[in-house]
Amino acid sequence: MKTKLKKPNKTENSRLLLIGLGNPGAEYHETRHNAGFMVIDYLAEKLNKPLKKSFLKPVATAVADKENKQIILVKPLTYMNRSGAILDYVMNKYGAEISDIILICDNMDLKPGMIRLRKKGSSAGHNGIKSVIENLGSQDFGRMYIGVGRSVSGQTVIEHVLGKFDNDEDALFKESVEAAAEALLMLKDRTIEQVMNEVNKKNN
């Protein structure tokens, strides 16, 4: 179902809606599929804005105002394949538009340690992105991809993304989570094209 949005209550480009994808629960903590959650957690700590779970809906959010830009941190607590189900509530609550969104998630086509920023795109088989697209009725939102690579040990895709990195790649993964978070903060005073040029050039 397409999300129905209220009229925004802030001026154009005055907010940044950062939505990190993942699965709730201790068993999924720091798994590859929870890269988006990890970026949001890092940002919440850096901005000193603890995430708070809604009493009404399965979502955790935090809001920070930085340099005339409202930064809204979001963790859907609906499990990955239903990530978009909470967007109607979140976007109406904050008066957000699709153009305010940057979705943050894992990407198997990028090696561990790599990140990539995009303005839009298809789901590429990612169930979380697919759910968001279905609920928004649009693919025209930004994405920050965190590289997790593909399995080389015969694991299925599900086993791979729900698993954790070995020691040799774990450090690269966590470095990329921090790099993605820092790049997203650049969007508070720069365009997505400017940040894309810098971030993606470093990760080619």
Catalytic residue positions? 33
The three-state DSSP-derived secondary structure of 123-150 is CCCCHHHHHHHHHHCCCCCEEEEEECCC
- Alpha-carbon dihedral of residues 61, 180, 187, 80, nearest 10 degrees? -40
Record the tokens describing residue 87, joined without a space.
């967007």
Instruction: Note every long-range contact of 189-193, with CB atoms under 8 Å and residues 24 or more positions apart, other chains counting.
Output: 189/67, 189/69, 192/102, 192/117, 192/119, 192/142, 193/119
